[in-house]
A = this chain, B = another copy of it.
Amino acid sequence: VDDQKSSYHHGNLPDTLLEHAVEVLHEGGVEGLSLREVARRAGVSHNAAYRHYADKKSLLASMAVWGFNTLSARIAGAVAPFSGAPRTRLFAAVRTYVNFGLEYPHLLRIMFGDLPHSDYPELRATARKAFDLLLDILAEGQQQGIIASGDLRQMALTCWATFHGLTEILVAQKIPFQDPDALENEQIVRSTLEVLLQGFSPHKGKD
Contacts and interface: CB of A to CB of B under 8 A. Distances in A.
Contact of A201 (B109, B164, B205): B205
A166 interface: yes
Interface stretch (A10-18, A42-50, A169-177): A169-177
A177 B168 CA distance: 22
Contacts of A31: 30-31
A73 interface: no
Interface residues of A, number: 54
A36 interface: no
A85 interface: no
A204 interface: yes
A69 to B, nearest CB: 15
B205 A203 contact: yes
A158 B168 contact: no
Interface stretch (A1-9, A19-27, A76-84, A188-196): A188-196
Nearest to A169: B161
Q: Which of A146, A162, A172, A183 has the most chain B CB atoms inside 10 A of its CB?
A: A162
Interface in A82-130: 105, 109, 112-114, 117, 127-128
Nearest to A150: B191
Given A160-B165, A165-B160, A154 B188 contact: yes
A207 interface: yes
Nearest to A203: B205
A192 B157 CA distance: 9
* The 7 nearest A-B residue pairs measured at CB: A203-B205, A165-B165, A199-B199, A113-B172, A195-B199, A164-B165, A161-B165
